[in-house]
Amino acid sequence: MSARPRVVITRRIPAACETEAQSRFDVVLNREDVPLTAAQLGEALRTADGLLPTVTDKLTADVLGVEPRRARIIANFGVGFNNIDIEAARARGLTVTNTPDVLTDDTADIAVTLLLMVARRAGEGERHLRARQWTGWRPTHMLGTKVSGKTLGLIGFGRIAKAVARRAHHGFGMRIIYTDPFPPKPEEAAALGAEGRESVEAVLREADFVSLHCPATPETRHLINADRLRLMRPEAFLVNTARGDVVDEAALIDALQRKRIAGAGLDVFEKEPQVGAPLLAMENVVLLPHLGSATLETRVAMGMRALENLTRFFDGQPVRDRVV
Ligand code: 8YV
């Protein structure tokens, strides 16, 4: 019997997934859950057949270039894979997979959570109450912005954006507009009451709420910059559950300070876990620590999906979620 493939899992993943992984592979776990250094990632690629990394592992061209490399597959835990230099992986003949579908609903839920919280001043209200500053109900206390019936602009119209549209349109009667370089089938957009727009700019000008759902690529880096933030309405809110890189965080801070937009709900940051200091002091900003897919059910499903990708690869079958 040939030896079982050796797999390095770079962070703690739910126990059910670690146990399942151990039943299939010769697994190296990161029991301390401390992010691996570039040198440790290189060592993992030199000594294991496969890697199961996360968003905190920067698999740069340098790291992927280790010689001699034993690993042939990187099964990313997450749908986004901007932590991996995809061109370098392709050039070196590595297979890269991700975990789509299983986190769509949870990530859409977090986008809607942020939208509601920032519009209805939920974070601010909770801080106010916990600080024992609440003196009692009054008609003019902490008035927010109505959500129902407003226009939601989606930048990118993939799986997660459509799940947000479903919630917003059918749940809150919102009007949905979107822009995407790969337009959906007309009937799919129609079922969500969604109207396409020809550009990001057109969506920004028209929307009461803008929610970002594009991948982080060299082309989308700082897509939301100072010029585009200026196109948003002063009463509009920005929601980001995609990747911090898509927004120029300094420009966003400036727009918020100048009241060019009304507020923001952010689950991801340019230099996470660092968060631009001025954001921490703003009441009209809701900040979450990258919780989009953070439910036990979904994190188990993500782990199992990554394990399935590894299993199929090592069995010589076509992998389901091949990115490269
Ligand atoms: C993960 C995510 O928490 O899947 C993604 O793209 O951002 C999150 O669901 C993270 O990427 C885990 O690696």
95-125 pLDDT tens trace: 999 999 999 999 999 999 999 999 999 999 9
What is the rounded distance in angstroms from the CA atom of residue 312 to the CA atom of residue 93?
17
pLDDT at 1 over 60: no
Q: Is the CB of 79 under 6 A from ligand 1?
A: yes
281-293 confidence digits (pLDDT tens): 999 999 999 999 9
- Phi-psi region for residue 274, left (φ > 0), alpha (ψ -120 to 50) or beta? beta
Q: How confident is the model at residue 2 (pLDDT cuts 50, 70, 90)?
A: low
pLDDT at 38 over 60: yes
Looking at ligand 1, which atom is closest to the CA of residue 293? Answer: 9
Task: State which amino acid sits at residue 78.
Answer: G
Q: What is the mean pLDDT of the chain?
A: 98
Q: Which two tokens stand for residue 168?
A: 């917003």
- With beta carbons less than 8 A apart as the criterion, state whether 66 and 89 touch: no
From 81, 103, 297, give the residue whose CB has the most ligand 1 atoms within 8 Å, as the site to mutate: 103
Looking at ligand 1, which atom is closest to the CA of residue 291? Answer: 3
Q: Is the CB of 78 under 6 A from ligand 1?
A: yes
Ligand 1 centroid – CA 239 distance (Å): 17
Ligand 1 centroid – CA 129 distance (Å): 32
What is the rounded distance in angstroms from the CA atom of residue 245 to the CA atom of residue 212?
11
**Residue partners of 68: CB distance under 8 A and separation at least 6:** 46
Q: Is the CB of 25 under 6 A from ligand 1?
A: no
Active site residues: 243, 272, 290
Average pLDDT over residues 35-54: 98
Q: Which two tokens stand for residue 41?
A: 């990632």
Its sign, for the CA torsion 62, 67, 70, 72, is: positive
Its sign, for the CA torsion 291, 160, 36, 269, is: negative
- With beta carbons less than 8 A apart as the criterion, state whether 255 and 98 touch: no
58-96 confidence digits (pLDDT tens): 999 999 999 999 999 999 999 999 999 999 999 999 999
* Structure confidence at residue 253 (pLDDT): 98
* Structure confidence at residue 212 (pLDDT): 99
Residue 154 bridge partners (DSSP)? 178, 211
- With beta carbons less than 8 A apart as the criterion, state whether 152 and 207 touch: yes
Q: Is the CB of 42 under 6 A from ligand 1?
A: no
User: Which structural domains are found in the chain, ordered by start?
Assistant: 6-102+296-314 (3.40.50.720), 104-287 (3.40.50.720)
- With beta carbons less than 8 A apart as the criterion, state whether 298 and 108 touch: no
Strands 50-52 and 73-75: parallel
Ligand 1 centroid – CA 258 distance (Å): 32
Query: Position of tokens 């090592």?
Result: 314
What is the rounded distance in angstroms from the CA atom of residue 152 to the CA atom of residue 178?
8
pTM of the entire structure?
A: 0.97
229-273 confidence digits (pLDDT tens): 999 999 999 999 999 999 999 999 999 999 999 999 999 999 999
Strands 209-212 and 237-240: parallel
Any idea what the Cα angle at residue 111 is, between residues 110 and 113, rounded to 5°? Answer: 60
Ligand 1 centroid – CA 13 distance (Å): 12
What is the rounded distance in angstroms from the CA atom of residue 27 to the CA atom of residue 57?
18
135-183 confidence digits (pLDDT tens): 999 999 999 999 999 999 999 999 999 999 999 999 999 999 999 999 9
Q: Which two tokens stand for residue 144?
A: 């927010």
- With beta carbons less than 8 A apart as the criterion, state whether 295 and 108 touch: no
**Residue partners of 181: CB distance under 8 A and separation at least 6:** none
Any idea what the Cα angle at residue 201 is, between residues 244 and 203, rounded to 5°? Answer: 85
Residue 59 bridge partners (DSSP)? 84
Q: Is the CB of 154 under 6 A from ligand 1?
A: no
Counted residue by residue, the chain has a size of 324
